Structure 1
Amino acid sequence: MKSLIPVHRETLPGRRMVSPFLALQQEIDSLFEGFTRGFSPSPFQSLVPSMDVSETAKEIEVTTELPGLEEKDVQLSVADQTLSIRGEKKSEREEKDKDYHMVERSYGSFSRTVELPPGVNADAIKATMSKGVLKITIPKPAPAQSKKIDVKAA
Structure 2
Amino acid sequence: MVMTRWSPWPELRSMQERMERLLEMSRERSAGEPFEQGRWQPAADVYEDEREVVIKVDLPEVDQEDIDVRIEEGTLIVQGVRRLEQEERQSRYQRIEREHGPFKRVFALPASVDPDRTVARCDRGVLKIVLPKKPDVQPRQIEISLG
Q: Could you tell me the TM-score, scaled by structure 2's length?
A: 0.65
* 1:47 match: secondary structure: coil
What is the rounded CA distance, in whole Å, between the counterparts of 1:68 and 1:96 in structure 2? 15
Q: Name the structure, 1 or 2, with higher relative contact order (CA <8 Å, separation 6+).
A: 2
Partner of 2:73: 80
Partner of 2:96: 103
Closer, same or farther: CA 147–132 of 1 in aligned 2, 3 Å: same
Deviation per residue, 1:78-109 (Å, 9 max, x gap): 11111110110112224687433322232111
Partner of 2:62: 69
Closer, same or farther: CA 40–141 of 1 in aligned 2, 3 Å: same
**Map 1:3-152 → 2, pairs under 5 A:** 36-37=12-13, 39-41=16-18, 47-94=40-87, 98-118=91-111, 120-147=113-140
Residue type of the alignment partner of 2:83: K
Give me the identity figure in percent: 30
What is the rounded CA distance, in whole Å, between the counterparts of 1:58 and 1:84 in structure 2? 21
What's the offset of the Cα at 1:50? 0.8
Q: Unaligned regions of 5+ residues in structure 1, if any?
A: 1-34
Q: Unaligned regions of 5+ residues in structure 2, if any?
A: 1-10, 23-36
CA contact (8 A) 2:53 2:113 kept: no
Q: How many residues align?
A: 120
What's the offset of the Cα at 1:70? 2.4
Residue type of the alignment partner of 1:117: P
Partner of 2:7: none
What is the rounded CA distance, in whole Å, between the counterparts of 1:67 and 1:96 in structure 2? 18
* 1:137 match: secondary structure: strand
Closer, same or farther: CA 96–88 of 1 in aligned 2, 3 Å: closer
Structure having the higher helix fraction is 2
Larger Rg: 1
What's the Cα RMSD here?
Answer: 3.2
What is the rounded CA distance, in whole Å, between the counterparts of 1:79 and 1:95 in structure 2? 36
